[in-house]
Copies of this chain bind each other. A is one copy, B any other.
Amino acid sequence: MSSAAAARPEAIRQHNLALVLGEVHRDGSLSRAELTARLGLSRSTIGALVADLTELGLVEELVPTGGARAGRPSHVVSPHPRGPYAIAVDVDIAHVTTAAVGLGGAVLGRHVLDSGPRPSSPAAVTRLVVDSIPVLREMVSGGEPVGIAVSVPGTVDRRTGTVGFAPNLEWRNEPFGALLQSAAGSLPVDVGNDADLAVLAEHSRGAGRDCADVVYVIGRVGVGAGIIVNDRPLLGHDGHAGEIGHNVMDPAGPECHCGKRGCLETYIGDNALLALAGMPTPATEDRMRAVFAAARAGEAPALPAVRRIAESLGRGLAELVNVLNPERVILGGTLSEVFAVARAEVLTAVDRYAMDAPGQTVQLCQPAFGVDSALMGAAEVAFKRLLEAPLSWRAPRAG
């Protein structure tokens, strides 16, 4: 229930069902006793709500084989194994990954498609996604998809799903959301920025769990941030928040493809690292693997190059820390490797450039979902409507 809406009796059941389903989704499985304690509702109310969710085909209850312990064991409430699933898609330069993700975050099936040597067009990605739907359906043990949500490495208009600029895909002002929606029939379609989706997943059940204020900084060729504030996504007025890659670190710095000089991504993007390490550009997966392998082996110039990137990363993070005072910053993409190899350099630069108070308390870490954060975040978005209004499940399909 939105805090702007007046509370009316018919909304309360929906609200309480959403609370119970949200807890089960977040944790995968929970005992009735745990639900009762977390939500402050009576055991009988929890029982009735779980019965409603079971009836809707969203959860199932299991009685643990109690063994020798005294007392009646509490029923365990889990996502229904043939319940709804999200079709989550991660589009990057080399691959399109589609996955069927169940409530609770279980990956029920995964399908990785090589998108060929050139960046995929929106039409090609749409075709790959639509073709994968029956493939994923084969992999799951029943249930129906709730919707499709796609992670794109670029700016996305939150209202239209139009991709403003995705440099690695060479997309500019592509109405990708509308295109995919027209191909997807009645399945709802959402499109999101990779960092925005990654932070959603990490906040929900990953490295940012229980942090109200958390940032996910993703670095590949470009650099972006996904931001959660007060436990809610900071998307900005048009969905373009977190575009930190073109903030200017030094007006006398290297030329950037955007026309300015000294943008953050000219310091910490993948091509900057390869250039510092004396390796050929543009960045590919193989070249990035090679530079980090050399750095981990202590080789010059790879290791000093990573350390130099780490210092610039720390300064970039410090500016975000000054603005946002997050509890935790999660470093994703190749920046996760930079942090693993040159943690001390990152921390020293944060300490040097951040204001005392936010700099001393911020925690830096790697993502819990590795390279899957954005994919898992896409699943979160696809589930959003169902999680907010469990009673609506099935209703659209009755007609």
Q: Is A242 an interface residue (CB 8 A)?
A: yes
Q: Which residues of B contact A236 (CB under 8 A)?
A: 213, 324-326, 358
Which of B233, B244, B315, B362 has a CB less than 8 Å from the CB of A322?
A: B244
Q: Which of A238-288 contact B (CB under 8 A)?
A: 238-244, 246-252, 260
Q: Which residues of B contact A164 (CB under 8 A)?
A: 356-357
Which chain B residue has the least Cβ–Cβ distance from A233?
B230
Q: Which of A353-378 contact B (CB under 8 A)?
A: 353, 355-358, 361-362
Contact B356 A237 (CB under 8 A): no
Q: Is A107 an interface residue (CB 8 A)?
A: no
Contact B243 A353 (CB under 8 A): no
Distance, CA A165 to CA B40, complexed state (A): 40
Q: Is A319 an interface residue (CB 8 A)?
A: yes
Distance, CA A325 to CA B246, complexed state (A): 14
Distance, CA A252 to CA B326, complexed state (A): 28
Q: Which residues of B contact A11 (CB under 8 A)?
A: 7
Which chain B residue has the least Cβ–Cβ distance from A326?
B237
Given contacts A7-B11, A7-B12, contact A323 B243 (CB under 8 A): yes
Q: Which residues of B contact A227 (CB under 8 A)?
A: 323
A-B contacts, 13 listed (Cβ < 8 Å): A155-B357, A164-B357, A213-B236, A225-B323, A232-B232, A234-B234, A235-B325, A237-B362, A239-B325, A244-B323, A246-B322, A260-B353, A319-B319
Instruction: Write the residues of chain A forming the contact surface with B, with a CB cutoff of 8 angstroms.
Output: 1-8, 11-12, 15-16, 19, 39-41, 45, 155, 157, 164-165, 211-213, 225, 227, 229-230, 232-244, 246-252, 260, 315, 318-320, 322-327, 352-353, 355-358, 361-362
